[in-house]
């Protein structure tokens, strides 16, 4: 973050302050959510088993990976620890949660873009982080897992949107997640390939722009 601040002509302290703020917010939310499993275990378990709410839990691993990226220049051992914890949680949760739809019996109305969060968001961010931490092979593996999961889930989701019941108003904001896979995937691709923008990076960026225009068209 400090490097980005310098590129933008801002003091490095601005980037460092944002990194610190992100760490504080991540730590507070992590502690509070862990406490929820102690003081309100039934509610936490109900969220984990809910067809829509469950997938947001996967962002815990994603957030941990992002914090690890921010801490790498300052606290390398801690950053590596958080990288390991974030990647392990992301993989474990993705396998656990994705296993349920594979069994069948899922209602079409509960198929929403939140399905992208465990495997696709987690995989792309894991790939980006692994590249930053000097693990190119793991970065490519994570990128591939996320990319092909995205292509598979995208077809299922679009089929549901085209032919299924109308998305209830309370669930319509989750359509914003449609913008995430191509945008985050482009960042992951640039990280995996060393920052050289090729045709795939441009294709991902183009698809992200298309998603943004579609979302703008759906605004009231």
Token duo for residue 140: 């490519």
State pLDDT tens for residues 59-99.
999 999 999 999 998 899 999 999 999 999 999 999 998 87
Residue with tokens 């873009």: 113
Closest CA to 146 of 114, 172, 185: 185
Token duo for residue 170: 């309370």
Q: Report the distance separating Cα 104 and Cα 142, nearest Å.
A: 26
- Identify the pLDDT of residue 177: 93
Q: Report the distance separating Cα 68 and Cα 132, nearest Å.
A: 10
Q: Report the distance separating Cα 195 and Cα 16, nearest Å.
A: 23
- Identify the pLDDT of residue 100: 73
- Identify the pLDDT of residue 10: 63
Q: For the chain, which residues score pLDDT lower than 50?
A: 2
Token duo for residue 64: 């941990």
Counting residues of the chain whose pLDDT is more than 70, the rounded percentage is: 93
Secondary element (H or E) of residue 114: none
pTM for the whole structure: 0.90
Tell me the longest C-alpha to C-alpha distance in the chain.
54
């Amino acid at each position: 973050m400090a490097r980005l601040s310098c590129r933008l002509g801002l003091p490095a302290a601005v980037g460092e302050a944002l990194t610190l703020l992100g760490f504080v917010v991540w730590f507070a939310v992590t502690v509070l959510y862990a406490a929820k499993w102690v003081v309100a275990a039934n509610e936490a378990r109900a969220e984990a088993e809910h067809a829509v709410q469950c997938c947001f839990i996967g962002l815990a691993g994603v957030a941990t990976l992002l914090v690890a990226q921010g801490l790498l220049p300052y606290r390398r051992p801690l950053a590596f620890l958080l990288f390991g914890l974030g990647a392990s949680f992301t993989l474990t949760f993705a396998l656990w949660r994705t296993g349920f739809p594979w069994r069948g019996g899922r209602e079409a109305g509960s198929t929403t873009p939140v399905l992208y969060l465990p495997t696709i968001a987690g995989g792309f961010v894991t790939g980006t982080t692994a590249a930053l931490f000097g693990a190119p092979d793991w970065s490519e593996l994570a990128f591939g897992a996320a990319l092909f999961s995205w292509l598979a889930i995208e077809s299922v989701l679009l089929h549901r949107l085209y032919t299924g019941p109308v998305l209830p108003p309370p669930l319509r904001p989750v359509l914003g997640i449609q913008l995430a896979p191509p945008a985050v995937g482009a960042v992951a691709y640039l990280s995996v390939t060393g920052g050289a923008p090729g045709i795939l990076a441009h294709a991902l960026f183009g698809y992200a722009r298309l998603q943004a225009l579609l979302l703008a068209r759906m605004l009231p």
